[in-house]
Structures are given as structure tokens and as C-alpha cells.
């Protein structure tokens, strides 16, 4: 398993956090502000975990060759069940604020739609293809590190 995540997952997380901060403004419209915030951020953290699991599952499933579609389907079911369990737990413990957690889960979709924007933000902050050391993608072999012009030589 690779020890670090790739840039796309980082940019999805960036978009999920931006959406979460914007959704946090709705705290002004509810009675129990603390519970709303807790449930919203449970949903956002679950969306971040789901986006990581999606990357991990696709990366692992490709090693299965012909069985890759089946393995991706199994991992999808695991991810979906995890989200259902999280929503059920929030509904059990916090009752009426399950929609706040669902709104947090939806940030995974919103983040995917705003990926061009988060890519530009990450490029402005970190450069074209450089991320902080703990997030930068590990290369599988030395050939991938070379520039395209160097590969042709």
C-alpha cells in the first residue's frame, strides 16, 4: 500500500472542508447550535473518510485484474454500509439532526463538482504538482519520476 495519498484526494478534502465551512453558517438558523455543528462535522469527516476509501478501493481493486469490477462493487457496498451506520448512529443519539450529518456527507459530491476550483486553489498555494511532504504522491517506480522529455531519451 502506498504510504501517502494522491493530489486528487487532497483536493477533494479541501473542497469538503470549504463546503463544510459554508454549511456551518446555517448554525444561525437552528435552535441547538452545538448539536447541529457536531452532526454536520461528523458527516463531513465521514465524507472525507469515504473519499479516502474510494481512492484506496480503486487503487487496490486494479490489482485484481479481471476481478476488479467485482472487488470495486464489494468495496462500494462496504462504503455505503458505513455511511448508513453513521447516519443511523447520529439518528439514534442526536435525533432530529440526522439531516445535518447527511448534508455533511453530501459535501463529497459538492467537492467533486467544485474540483476545478479546488485544483486552482491547491495550485496557487502549493504549486503545480507539489504538495506538502506528508501528502505528496509516492511513485511506484523511478521511471514515473522522470519528465516526459527524459523518458524519450
* Per-residue confidence (pLDDT) for residue 149, from 0 to 100: 52
Note the pTM of the prediction, 2 decimals: 0.76
Positive or negative CA dihedral for 13, 17, 19, 23?
positive
Query: What are the extents of the domains in the chain?
Result: 7-131
| Tens digits of residue pLDDT in 32-45 | 899 999 999 999 99
Positions in the chain whose pLDDT score sits under 50: 1-2, 134, 136-141, 148, 151, 153
CA atoms lying within 13 Å on the CB side of residue 62: 6
Amino acid at each position: 500500500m502506498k504510504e501517502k495519498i494522491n493530489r486528487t484526494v487532497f483536493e477533494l478534502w479541501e473542497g469538503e472542508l470549504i463546503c463544510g465551512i459554508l454549511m456551518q453558517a446555517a448554525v444561525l438558523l437552528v435552535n441547538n447550535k452545538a448539536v447541529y455543528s457536531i452532526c454536520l462535522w461528523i458527516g463531513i469527516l465521514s465524507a472525507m473518510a469515504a473519499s479516502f476509501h474510494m481512492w484506496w478501493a480503486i487503487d487496490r481493486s486494479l490489482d485484481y485484474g479481471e476481478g476488479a469490477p467485482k472487488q470495486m462493487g464489494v468495496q462500494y457496498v462496504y462504503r455505503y454500509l458505513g455511511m448508513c451506520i453513521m447516519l443511523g448512529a447520529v439518528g439514534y443519539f442526536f435525533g432530529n439532526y440526522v439531516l445535518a450529518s447527511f448534508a455533511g456527507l453530501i459535501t463529497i459530491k459538492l467537492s467533486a463538482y467544485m474540483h476545478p476550483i479546488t485544483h486552482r486553489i491547491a495550485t496557487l498555494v502549493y504549486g503545480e504538482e507539489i504538495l506538502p511532504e506528508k501528502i505528496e504522491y509516492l511513485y511506484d517506480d523511478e521511471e514515473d519520476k522522470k519528465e516526459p522529455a527524459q523518458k524519450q531519451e
